[in-house]
Structure 1
Amino acid sequence: MDWDRLRIFHTVAEAGSFTAAARTLGLSQSAVSRQIRALEDSLHVALFNRHARGLALTHEGEYLFRVASDVVERLAHAEETLLEARDAPRGRLVVTTMISFGATWLTPHLKDFIRRYPEIELVLNLSDEDLDLATRAADVAIRFQAPQQADLIQRPLVTVRHHIYAAPAYLQRKGAPATIADLDTHDIIVYGPTAPPSIKDINWTLSIGREGRRPRKPVLQVNNTYAVLQAIEAGIGLAAIPDYLAAHDRSLVRVLPEIEGPAFETYFVYPKELRGAKRVRLFYDYLREQVRAAVTVLDRV
């Protein structure tokens, strides 16, 4: 298939008319029309329905447009990657992750990256829904479970560990539990049924030490990790949260410190077409540097 004709077809399909496409391409309208006709003849199909108001893609034209759009996008990424390899890292980098992690840990740790690479335009899109990287809703995702899509590259970032934390005001009111059995008399905050299912046995504080018996009854159920942190800070009760989240508020106290909840892996995820992008590699290296420092601090707690 002739690439020039495919490029012209893609421009016409986007523009919706030969006239608009001709202006974009810097060609005459008749030249554009001839190229489209030649492409249709070579494929033995009609790609456009022609009518008085302009052009409309046929079923075959819609299929070819999807394929051509993918080719054009991949070529644009290839050009961007090659230019990045030659020049200083630059360009837009859209990063997505869950709200609690993005708001409490990621955002405060971006300052040095922004200073180090001022030509990289960093955009954070925080959401508890997994944005579709295949459609480039974001370039990079920090995920709390391994993605299943074959066209995504995943690299390990850090192991997240959970402990039980409480606010000083709560401990002053209720006292600190000395044993697992003491949790029976405490106010426990847990995740609600619609919380993201990234952690197996996420509400382990209700069942630990009560094997064969009814689980403890929570004082509050919340479907968002950041809201769990706020409930702890408000003195509503104690809860198991990720250590990185507890580090956001140094006043929180780790109770029953010898008891550790389920750990889970986090992943740095991006589409295969960005594997050579310097800005993606630099961002991963920077995050690894930051999480190593954070883990060292948390290990001292």
Structure 2
Amino acid sequence: MDWDKLRIFHAVADAGSLTHAGDTLHLSQSAVSRQIRALEEGLNTTLFHRHARGLILTEQGELLFDATKHMTKRLDAAAARIRDSEEEVFGELRVTTTIGFGSLWLAPRLPALYAKYPDLRIDLMLEERVLDLPMREADVAIRMKEPSQADLIRRKLMAINMRLYASPSYLEKNGTPQSLEELSEHRLISQNANSAQVSAGAVLVRELTSYDVGSHLTVNNYFGVLQGVIHDLGIGVLPDYLTQDFPEMVRVLPNVESNEVPVFLAYPEELRQSKRIEAFREFVTEEVIAHRKRLKESLGAQAG
């Protein structure tokens, strides 16, 4: 098939309009229409249903559009590798991670990355859904479990635990529970055990709610849980990495915590040579080392 015709077809399918596709491609509507007709004749099929409000893909058109989407992503990946300078770090880097980790740990540390690489553009995609890296839904991911796909490069960054925290003013007003049974006198703040989250966190929430909890507020991400805690709403189930940025929080029931949650950085094998990936990987690694050092110093000071 003619690559140029496929490129034009993809633009039309994406825009749903010959006119809009022509504007994007800097071609006249008639030129775009001729190329689409030629492609349909070459394939001996109809790719679009035509009506007054625009174009709708036929079943055959959907099949071809799915193929051109994959091709476009692969071509974008190749172009990204070509554009990466041997000496400079620039351009867009699409980073995906969870809402909690991205908003509470990663985003506050990004100024250091921008200070070093001002021409880098980060597209931070925060969601619980695991994006498909080989299909280029994102360039690099930080995930709360080891990726299962074989064609990814992965590196373990750290391990975290889910623990119980409250604000000093909440504890001053409501008292500090000394056992799980005493949660009956408090409000628990957590993600719903059935919502998308790390499995270790869900297991801990189920264990806690097996007791007679006085009141239970559920939020669909850890950022919301944190807001509840720092505004004295109750005792929250939160990741332990927050203690450095929110040192005023008090750990409650120190013997209660989840199993370890591994944190992995992953990116496609095809981006191994990307300078942007390398810069981001080194930045995150340095921040994790600094995080561990501060945590060790904090634990040492508490022991002293």
Q: Is the 8 A contact 1:165 1:246 kept in 2?
A: no
Give the whole-Å Cα distance in 2 for the aligned partners of 1:255 and 1:52: 64
Residue 203 (str. 1) matches residue 182 (str. 2)? no
Distance 1:272 1:66 in 2: 23
Point out where structure 1 has 5 or more consecutive residues left out of the alignment. 208-213
Counterpart pick for 1:276 among 268, 273, 288: 273
Deviation per CA, 1:109-129, whole angstroms, max 9, x where unpaired? Answer: 111100111111112233344
Contact 2:133/2:267 (<8 A) preserved: yes
Residue of structure 2 equivalent to 1:298? 295
Alpha-carbon distance in 2 for matches of 1:229, 1:129: 21
1:243–1:298: 8 Å Cα contact kept in structure 2? no
Partner of 1:252: 249
- 2:122 is matched with 122
Q: Could you tell me which residue of structure 2 aligns to residue 219 of structure 1?
A: 215
Query: How far apart, in 2, do the equivalents of 1:185 and 1:55 lie?
Result: 60
Distance 1:35 1:239 in 2: 58
| Matched residue SS, 1:247 | helix
Paired letter, 2:238: I
Number of aligned positions between the proteins: 287
Q: How many Å apart are 1:93 and its aligned residue?
A: 1.4
Give per-residue Cα distances to partners, 1:178-220, cap 9 Å, x unaligned.
Answer: x54674565251423443241331226627xxxxxx6232422
Q: Where does residue 210 of structure 1 map in the other structure? A: none
Partner of 1:263: 260
| Paired residue secondary structure (2:237) | strand
Instruction: Indicate conservation of the 8 Å contact 1:195/1:222, yes or no.
Output: no
Could you say what the CA RMSD is over the residues aligned between the two structures, in angstroms?
Answer: 4.0
Separation of aligned partners in 1, 2:3 and 2:46? 11
Superposition deviation, residue 147 in structure 1: 4.5
Alignment of 1:56-135 (within 5 A): 59-60=59-60, 62-131=62-131, 133=133
Identity, % of aligned positions: 29
Please give the alpha-carbon distance, in whole angstroms, between the structure 1 residues aligned to 2:59 and 2:82: 35
2:237 maps to which residue? 240
CA gap of 1:36–1:86, structure 2 versus 1, over 3 A, is farther
CA distance in 2, matches of 1:37, 1:226: 53
Measure the CA separation in 2 of the matches of 1:232 and 1:39: 60
- Which stretch has the larger CA shift, 271-280 or 285-294? 271-280
Give the conservation status (yes or no) of the 8 Å contact 1:165–1:252.
Answer: yes
Which residue in 1 is equivalent to 2:302? none
AA aligned to 2:7 is H
Indicate the structure (1 or 2) with the bigger Cα radius of gyration.
1
Contact 1:159–1:266 (CA under 8 A) maintained in structure 2? yes
1:264 offset after TM fit, Å?
Answer: 0.7
* Cα shift at 1:229: 1.9
- Structure 2 unaligned runs (5+)? 300-304
In the alignment, the residues of structure 2 paired with residue 34 and residue 238 of structure 1 have an alpha-carbon distance, to the nearest angstrom, of 63
Classify the secondary structure of the residue corresponding to 1:216: coil
CA contact (8 A) 1:206 1:215 kept: yes
